[in-house]
Amino acid sequence: MTEPNGIDPSVPPSGAGCVECEADGGWWFHLRRCARCGHVGCCDSSPAQHATAHYRATGHPLVQSYEPGEEWFWDFATETLYDSGPALAPPVSHPSDQPAPGPAGRVPRDWARVLGS
């Protein structure tokens, strides 16, 4: 059931990695999970920025970090960071043995240069 703030805590994440990067063989820096539909997309520091693209395509504004040990939410519509929020359906992060950036085997050796770090 979708709550008034647009969060549906019953929806599981779409997978262990960015949906679009997995489909096209790309890679990501960090992952974000849509709090409404469970779509997992890559963050704005990633080459493809699929989490923001998902927001623009769907209007689903709230994402939660999909990184182990992080609970914060981001509201794209208001550009507001929340330290925490309602518990979402598990799993709450990508597998802890999955590296960041990831996934293993697809991250270029010079990933920091590619991201401009």
pTM over 0.85: yes
User: Which pLDDT belongs to residue 91?
Assistant: 97
User: Which pLDDT belongs to residue 84?
Assistant: 93
pLDDT at 34 over 60: yes
Q: What count of other Cβ atoms lies within 10 Å of the Cβ of residue 60?
A: 21
| Pairing of β 40-42 and β 31-34 | antiparallel
Rounded to 5°, angle at Cα 65 from 24 and 41:
15
55-110, pLDDT tens digit by residue? 999 999 999 999 999 999 999 999 999 999 999 999 999 999 999 999 999 999 99
- Alpha helices (runs of H) in the chain, residue ranges in sequence order: 19-24, 50-58, 111-114
Q: What is residue 28's DSSP assignment?
A: B
Percent of the chain surpassing pLDDT 90: 93
